[in-house]
Amino acid sequence: MKDAGSMNAPLHDPDTLQNQMELVRSNLQTNVRDLVQNARTATDWHYYWRRYPGVCCGAAAILGFILVPSRRADAGAPVERLTRAQEKILASLPREKSLARQLFGMALGLAAQGGLRILARNLEQAISKEPSRPAAAPLAEGGMAGPR
């Protein structure tokens, strides 16, 4: 290796240029190794935990305080308002019937339909049958028909 004074030598000499390039390459390789090692150390949280445990605990506590939302004293009020609003909506909706009521309603509906069918059939039969009219009796002596 040449001393720093040789770096100022004219670049026209091929040997000098080659030596300077070799020096830069070796320094670059060393610098890259140091940079990689420093990056590994800087990104390793274990290093900071071992070296500064108090600071890490404090930072974790502050971060937790900032990130976790605090409970508010009036946190129950919006829920109560929402519950009242839901009660108003539910009051406006028709109530659901119990199973027994639903079954009773279905049975009543079927009975009403059956009754209407029977009524319609009887009415139809009554209309289709013409009632037999009694034959006109000859007029008797007083102008009235039939026995007295």
Q: How many CB atoms lie within 10 A of CB 19?
A: 16
Residue 59 resides in a domain: yes
Residue for token pair 């937790």: 64
In the chain, the number of structural domains is 1
pTM over 0.85: no
Phi and psi at residue 139, to the nearest 5° = -70, 130
Residue 33 resides in a domain: yes
Does the pLDDT at position 55 exceed 60? yes
Residue 39 resides in a domain: yes
Residue 57 resides in a domain: yes
Q: How many CB atoms lie within 10 A of CB 49?
A: 13
- For 133, the 3-state DSSP assignment is coil
Provide the domain limits for residue 34: 9-67
Mean pLDDT confidence for 130-134: 57
- Write out pLDDT tens, residues 67-119: 888 776 655 555 566 677 777 887 777 777 788 888 888 999 999 999 999 98
109-124: b (≥16 Cβ within 10 Å) or e? eeeeeeeeeeeeeeee
Residue 56 resides in a domain: yes
